Amino acid sequence: MIYNASVEIRSSIVQATLIIIVAFIPLFFLSGMEGRMLKPLGITFIVSLFASLVVAVSLTPVLSSYLLTGAKQLGIRKNGNRLTAFLTETYSKSISKALYFRKTILISAGVLLVVSLFVLARFGKAFLPEFKEGTLTITAVTAPGVSLGKSNEIIATVDKELLQIPEIKYVSRRTGRAELNEHSHGGSNSSEIDAPYSLYERSYEEFMEDVRIRLGKVSGININIGQPLGHRIDHML
């Protein structure tokens, strides 16, 4: 009896497991921070799910044949136990009604699908929301080969532009790094600027737009605007 039950559900278990595994395959095609964070999760989930499948179709039936023997352990009754009888009856009634009103159900499912796609299109696409930490971390890189003195002179223009923004009261800057340091931007042509800010009359979006416009005026420099936590995550990954 245990063998017959195992054979009966074996294909269903295998197919259900494969469907879940296939659903995780797109994780391996993600790039950037999303891929770095989610690929290990996908590998772990797929390996553990596959291992549980092997146990379910091999070890579990064998243990059941030894441990679940006799009518008392199996709970054999004429119509099964009460829970099984209730679930079977409820499921049969639900299937019968679904087949009788199949047009209504199909139309309702189609409407829900369209609504879901519309709502999905309006969702944000960012993996992590933008952090609002109260401080901007700005990476400024001049052309390769520029001396430390010249880099300091060019990037001082960035400091002046930032200090003209009402929400920013002061800035701090580190210009130049050792060539072989652990930071991704090294050399005399790189700088890192911290600019704490406090929002008063303008919104965060208006403030950031002003920052981008002002820093966009500075020529001969590549600027990346971030915040402390996001900046550290980017370099860690």
Range of lowest pLDDT (94-98, 101-105, 189-193): 189-193
Residue 29 confidence (pLDDT): 87
Tokens at residue 187, please?
Answer: 């050399």
First to last CA, the chain: 54
> pLDDT tens, 36-81?
778 888 899 999 999 999 998 888 888 877 776 655 555 555 555 6
Half-sphere exposure of 192 (CA within 13 A, CB side): 16
What is the pTM assigned to this prediction?
0.50
**Is 136:173 a contact under the CB 8 Å cutoff?**
no
> Which of 104, 54, 49, 70 lies closest to 2 in space, CA to CA?
70
> Which of 77, 49, 68, 79 lies closest to 5 in space, CA to CA?
68
